[in-house]
Amino acid sequence: MEKFVIEGGYPLSGELTPSGNKNEALPVLAASFLSDEVIHYKNVPRIRDVEVLCQIIVSMGGTVDWLGHNEVKICCKGVNSGHLDPALCQRIRASILLAGPLLARVGEVRLPPPGGDVIGRRRLDTHFHALEALGARVSVRDVYELSAHKLTGADIFLDEASVTATENAIMAAATATGTTIIRNAACEPHVCALARLLNKMGAQISGIGSNQLVIEGVDRLGGAEHEIESDYLEIGSFVGLAAVTGGALTVNRIKPESLRMIRMVFERLGIYTQISGDQLFVPAHQPLKIRPDYHNHVPKVDNAIWPAFPTDLMSIAITIATQCQGTVLFFEKMFEGRMFFVDHLQAMGAQIILCDPHRVVVVGKQQLRGAKVQSPDVRAGMALLIAGLCANGTTEIYNIHQIDRGYERVDEKLRALGAQIQRLPAMK
Question: Which sequence spans correspond to the domains of the chain?
Answer: 2-19+230-425, 22-227
Tens of pLDDT, residue by residue over 19-28, are 999 999 999 9
Q: Is the peptide bond before 365 cis (omega within 30 degrees of 0)?
A: yes
Tens of pLDDT, residue by residue over 130-171, are 999 999 999 988 889 999 989 999 999 999 999 999 999 999
pLDDT classification of 93: cutoffs 50, 70, 90: confident
122 has a pLDDT exceeding 90: no
Cα 302 to Cα 61: distance, rounded to the nearest angstrom = 43
Question: Any residues with CB less than 8 A from the CB of 426 and at least 6 apart, and which?
Answer: 1, 2, 3, 398
8 Å CB contact between 244 and 390 = yes
**pTM of structure:** 0.94
Name the CATH superfamily for 2-19+230-425.
Enolpyruvate transferase domain (3.65.10.10)
Mean pLDDT, residues 68-76 taken together: 96
- Give residue 115's pLDDT: 57
Query: Cα 345 from chain centroid?
Result: 22
- Give residue 73's pLDDT: 98
Query: What is the average pLDDT score of the chain?
Result: 94
Name the CATH superfamily for 22-227.
Enolpyruvate transferase domain (3.65.10.10)
- Give residue 137's pLDDT: 96
Which is nearest to 380 in space by CA: 328, 352, 340, 351? 340
Mean pLDDT, residues 118-129 taken together: 72
142 is catalytic: no
Cα 345 to Cα 351: distance, rounded to the nearest angstrom = 8
Tens of pLDDT, residue by residue over 27-37, are 999 999 999 99
356 has a pLDDT exceeding 80: yes
Tens of pLDDT, residue by residue over 291-340, are 999 999 999 999 999 999 999 999 999 999 999 999 999 999 987 888 99
Same fold yes or no, 2-19+230-425 and 22-227: yes
- Give residue 408's pLDDT: 96
| Active-site annotation holder among 117, 231, 312, 404 | 117
Residue 289's beta-bridge partner residues? Answer: 325
